[in-house]
Structure 1
Amino acid sequence: MKAYLFPGQGSQFVGMGEKLYKKSTLAKKMFHLADELLGFKITSIMFNGTDDILKQTINAQLSIYICSVIETKLYENFNPDMVAGLSIGEFSALTAINVFSFEDGLYLVNQRASLMQKICEKTKGNMIVIIGLKDKIIENICKNEIGIVVLSNYIAPNHSVISGELNSVKRVCSILKKIGAKKIIRIPVYGAFHSPIMKSAEEKLKNIIMKVNFNPPVCPIYQNFIGKSIIDSNEIKKNIIKQMGAPVKWKQSIKNMIIDGASKFIEIGPGKSLEKIAKIIFKDCNK
């Protein structure tokens, strides 16, 4: 069974999507449509912008969504048995399995990213990859920190992400390094995503998402909030709202995909890191 994976923020790079634009009339049409609907040239930022401009929340999320969906449209024999998307990638996945249109997805991503961007501008936040420590150890260190910092992404065995206020994250990283973290890597984003800092935007996002029609998916989607297979469109809608301020259960999603029969993982969008992570989890499940 084939499982398709869609990347999240941090996978963006200057020049992304330009090859698709040049080789396909359909891709060119969709890129122009995105520019028109957004009211500004996101394509210029994607193709010719700077790293700093592209990694701004609004630009990064829109660019990743647009590239991922267009690549899906050009993918030969796209017939998924199951899908999952990492954070903003969940919107790409939902468009790919016909839960909502490219246009509706673009609108939702724009609204979501705008809400998150405003929080990022008000709060100095950070996201850090932690490699080499078990989830429980990281969770306990975060709980003992005075400020806001949480384990925000369960990526793979001994491979997690923490998010929170800048100073709190720094203090936690210092402790994690002392107790044996092998690697501590900053994710190129401006904000503490999937942490309590984002909770204030959830109600606003809920009001926006509830107005958009969600169709039944053509295959199961394994959602970040729950880490399990979902096919009910109402449940999908609830989970996509709660996703913003809650930890991403990516490791759990991939494990459940494997349990449900996934034997091949294919990443669609910028980067191939999710395929590598899936292989790590697959090996861990088959020890």
Structure 2
Amino acid sequence: MAHVYVFPGQGSQFSGMGKNLYDINSLAKELFEQANEILGFSISDIMFNGSEEDLKQTNVTQPVVFLHSVIGYKTLQNIQPDMVAGHSLGEFSALVANNTLSFEDALKLVSIRAKAMQKACELNPSTMAAVLALADEKVEEICTKVHMDTEEIVVPANYNCPGQLVISGSIKGIEMACDLMKAAGAKRALILPVGGAFHSPLMLPAKEELAEAINATEFKIPTCPVYQNVVAKAVTDAATIKNNLIAQLTGAVRWTQSVQAMIADGATHFTEVGPGKVLQGLVLKINKEMVVSGVS
């Protein structure tokens, strides 16, 4: 009967996030002030008072979601998870929760990752699309076909739950793939309002920049396993965690497979820490017998 703590990625941000924690909890206030100092600007002001548009920029979104999740986690009392995992960006929050990374180092890496991804998005106009109610194997087959026929980049990016897979790639490639997905029976193949092809080869320039920063950062032996996106299994070796975290930028988020692996290893209760309830919903779609809860 293992208890898992899971952490969301970008897309769950909202104006006013974290303000209540700042106002009522002295540790939270201290960590927000520390984050402002590390980043060199008042990210807390953007979180508390920024517009939806302010929070949408990749170089802002990633640090704000990370901060909301990690500060929320650190203000909980006597938390000792048996396992941790994070969806995409959330993997950095998970690595703070299991003491692989310090708060300071993780925030610096998230900031570097966000800026590098923003630059990569500007270099290569690209997008993502959500494909609903089509078998993973069929989505993979269509992505491969589009690439083989046209050399356009299209890859599976987020295996969110059975019947929900997000693809990523060039604008032309994604448009062609969406048409083929619908023709193959997908309930929907919807292009998403994102600024780039996350978790695809188009993130290679960002991956190279992030790799340099990760390799220069101390990763400690974790206090519990992290189920990493690219391998969807428990990892406890610090060097392997580094390599998987680097690979994640151009590799797929295997969330379905990660949750299934945690359940196979004894997980029964999943607590989502951070903004929103997206991961709780995905866990139940993967296995409706799980107990889920949230700390926002």
TM-score norm. by structure 2 comes to 0.92
Secondary structure of the residue aligned to 1:144 is: helix
Of residues 130, 154, 161, the one that matches 1:156 is: 161
Q: Distance in 1 between matches of 2:224 and 2:259?
A: 15
Q: Distance in 2 between matches of 1:79 and 1:186?
A: 39
Aligned twin of 1:84:
85
Secondary structure of the residue aligned to 1:214 is: coil
Q: How does 1:92-241 map to 2 (within 5 A)?
A: 92-145=93-146, 146=150, 147-241=152-246
AA in 2 matched with 1:234? A
Q: Rate the CA distance shift 1:281–1:3 in 2: closer, same or farther, 3 A.
A: same
Q: Rate the CA distance shift 1:271–1:188 in 2: closer, same or farther, 3 A.
A: farther
- Cα drift, residue 27 of structure 1: 0.9
Secondary structure of the residue aligned to 2:252 is: coil
- Cα drift, residue 282 of structure 1: 1.6
Structure 2: 5+ residue runs without aligned partners? 291-296
Aligned twin of 1:281:
286
* Worse-superposed segment, 262-271 or 124-133: 124-133
- Cα drift, residue 188 of structure 1: 4.7
Q: Distance in 1 between matches of 2:93 and 2:221?
A: 15
AA in 2 matched with 1:15? G
Q: Rate the CA distance shift 1:187–1:98 in 2: closer, same or farther, 3 A.
A: farther
Whether the 8 Å CA contact 1:57–1:189 is kept in 2: the answer is no
Whether the 8 Å CA contact 1:55–1:188 is kept in 2: the answer is no
Whether the 8 Å CA contact 1:156–1:277 is kept in 2: the answer is yes
Q: Cα RMSD (Å) of the superposition?
A: 1.5
Instruction: Say if 2:273 is the partner of 1:272.
Output: no
Q: Distance in 2 between matches of 1:207 and 1:35?
A: 24
Secondary structure of the residue aligned to 2:17 is: coil
Instruction: Say if 2:252 is the partner of 1:247.
Output: yes
- Cα drift, residue 185 of structure 1: 4.3
User: Where do 4+ consecutive residues of structure 1 move more than 6 Å?
Assistant: none
Give % identity.
Answer: 47
Whether the 8 Å CA contact 1:81–1:220 is kept in 2: the answer is yes
AA in 2 matched with 1:228? K
Structure 1: 5+ residue runs without aligned partners? none
Whether the 8 Å CA contact 1:126–1:191 is kept in 2: the answer is yes
